[in-house]
Amino acid sequence: MSKKIVIAGAGIGGLCAALALAKNKFEVTVYERNPQLGEVGAGIQLSPNAMHVLQKLGIADEVKAKAFSPDAAVMRHYQTGKSYFTVPLGDNAAQKYGAPYLHVHRADLQMALYNACVNMKVTIHLGKAIQSYQQTQQNLTIQFDNNDSIVADLLIGADGIKSNIQACMLGKKSAEFTGQVAWRGVVEASKLPKGLIKPNANLWVGPGKHFVSYYLRGGDLINFIAVQERKSWQKESWNEPGDINELRETFSDWHPEVSQLLSATEQCFLWALFDRKPLELWSDRKVTLLGDACHPMLPFLAQGAAMAIEDSYALAYCLSRDANIENALQSYQNIRLPRTRNIQLNARKNAALYHMSSPMEQAKLALVSGLSRIGLSDRIAANKLDAIYAYNIVEQLSMGPALIGSES
C-alpha cells in the first residue's frame, strides 16, 4: 500500500489503529502531544470482544502475561455486601466467548502496543501535537501546534474527548460535565490483608456513589475507581492529584472491603467525567475519528478501551479492502456507529442505577435483590452483557461488513 496515514494520538486507540494498519502494509506515522508515554496509573478491563482483536494483532499473549483474570463480575450493596448479581468470568468467559476477560494496567497495554508498532516500523513522534487540518480535492494538509505542516493521504483523530481533529471537523464544542467525578488509584496488594479484596470485578453501589476494585499484574496490584456525584467542576484541569483524606471520608461508611482498601491507599487522582452526545458524522473526506474522539464512554460498562480497539480493527479492515478512502471511511462509520452509540447510551443509564438516583432506580435494585435469591438476576445480567462480550468483530468482518452494519 502506498497511502501515507497519519494518526493524532498515541493512546490505546491510536496505537492499536497504527498496529492494525501497519499489519495491512500501510505507511503509518503517529503524533502524540505528550512528551512521553505513560498515562496516569490506572487499570482497564479488556472484555472478550476487545481480546479477539488483540489476538488477531498478535499481542494477546503478551498482554495476558501482565494481566489478571477475574473469577466473576459481582455487584454488591455498599454497606451490607449483599450480592445483586454474579456473572462468572475466568475460564467461563474464555469458553463462552472464545477469548479471556482480563484486567490490565493501562501502561502495560500501551507499552505492548507501542513495542508492536515499533517492530512493524511505525514512526511515532512524541511531544508534537496536531492542531488542525485543511483539505482540497487534491491535498490533505495537517498543521501542528508549532506551525509546521505535512501532507498525507489520510488523517485519523484518535486524540481523545478533547480532540483537535473533531473540533476542526465539526466545530469546537465543549464536552458536558456529567455531574460526576472519579477518584482513581492503585495499591500494592501486599499492603492489605490477604483475601480482603475478592478476585473479581467488584462493583459496590450506593446513594450518589459507586466503587469498583480489581486486581492487576497477576494480583500484585489492586486498582480502584470511586465515582461520586458533584454539582460542578470548577478546576481548570480535568484531572489532578486527589486528596486521599477527602476520598476516605467520602466512603467512610461503606463496607470494610472498601474502607480498608482506601486506608491502605497513599495517593489518588481525581477526574471530572465529561461526556458528549453520540455523533452522527465521524468523517470528512480523508479525515476520520476513532475512540473517545467520536464516542467518549463513561466508565459504567468498562468499554471505553474496548470500543477504541474494535474501531481500530474495523478501520484497518475497511481501508485495506477499498482503495477509495472516502468509501472506506463511510463503510467504517456504518459498521461502528450503531454499536458504539448503543453502548455509549447504555453506559449513561448505568450511572443512575449504580447511584440509586431515583425511586425508580431504587425499585429496580430492590427487584434485582429479590431475583438474586433464586439466581434469576445472575442470568439477566449475563444476558445483558452477552450483547457486548459475545461480539467478535474479527469473525464478523470476515463474513463481510454488510452483515454487521446494523449490529448493536
Determine the pLDDT at residue 2: 67
Tell me the C-alpha distance between 95 and 84, whole Å. 24
Q: What mean pLDDT do residues 47-61 have?
A: 98
Rounded to an integer, the average pLDDT of 376-400 is 85
Q: C-alpha cell of 281? A: 458524522
Measured distance CA(75)–CA(258) in Å, rounded: 13
- Please check whether residue 231 lies inside any domain of the structure: no
- Name the 3-class secondary structure at 100: coil
Can you give the pLDDT at residue 325? 96
Query: Which of the following is catalytic: 31, 78, 101, 214?
Result: 214
Distances in whole angstroms, Cα of residue 77 to Cα of each of 199, 365, 368: 17, 9, 11
Q: Distance (Å, rounded) from C-alpha 133 to C-alpha 58?
A: 33
Q: With beta carbons less than 8 A apart as the criterion, state whether 378 and 87 touch.
A: yes
Instruction: Give which of 315, 317, 297, 316 is closest to 307, Cα–Cα.
Output: 297
Would you state the pLDDT for residue 406? 39
pLDDT at 233 over 90: no
Q: Which residues of 199-238 are buried (b: 16+ CB within 10 A; e: fewer)?
A: bbbbbbbbeebbbbbbbbbeeebbbbbbbbbeeebeeeeb
- pLDDT, residue 240, reads 83
The pLDDT score that the predictor gives to residue 367 is 59
- State residue 383's pLDDT score: 80
Q: Classify residue 250: in a domain, yes or no.
A: no
What does the pLDDT read at residue 237? 60
Give the C-alpha separation, 65 to 56, whole Å.
Answer: 17
Cα Rg of the chain (Å, integer): 21
Which pLDDT score is estimated for 405? 42
Which alpha helices (H) appear in 177-303, and where do they start and end? 244-250, 256-263
* Predicted confidence (pLDDT) per residue in 74-132, tens digit: 999 999 999 888 899 999 999 999 999 999 999 999 999 999 999 999 999 999 999 99
- β-strands 27-32, 4-8: how paired? parallel
151-159 average pLDDT score: 97
DSSP H or E run through 327: helix 325-354
313 confidence band (pLDDT: 50, 70, 90): very high
Q: What confidence tier does 378 reach under pLDDT thresholds 50, 70, 90?
A: confident
What integer pLDDT is reported at residue 373 of this predicted model?
57
| Domain boundaries, position 82 | 4-174+276-400
- The answer to the question of residue 59 being in a domain is yes
What pLDDT was estimated at residue 117? 98
Q: Considering the domain boundaries, does residue 291 fall inside one?
A: yes
Active site residue 214: yes
Kindly indicate the confidence band of residue 363, based on its pLDDT and cuts at 50, 70 and 90: low
Average pLDDT over residues 224-233: 90
266 within domain boundaries: no
Count up the domains in the chain and report the number: 1
CATH code of residue 357: 3.50.50.60
In a domain, 225, yes or no: no
Answer yes or no: is pLDDT of 277 > 60.
yes
Comparing 41 with 322, the larger pLDDT belongs to: 322
Q: Where does the pLDDT of residue 366 fall: very low under 50, low under 70, confident under 90, or very high at 90 and above?
A: low
Coil vs helix vs strand at 374: coil
What is the percent of the chain with per-residue pLDDT over 70, rounded to a whole number? 90
For range 228-236, the mean pLDDT: 78
Chain segment 259-270, per-residue pLDDT in tens: 999 999 999 999
Q: How confident is the model at residue 399 (pLDDT cuts 50, 70, 90)?
A: confident
- Whether 370 is in a domain gets the answer yes
Residue 150 is predicted with a pLDDT of: 96
Average predicted confidence (pLDDT) for the chain: 90
pLDDT given at position 361: 67
- Per-residue pLDDT at 408 exceeds 80: no
Q: Is 106 inside a domain boundary?
A: yes
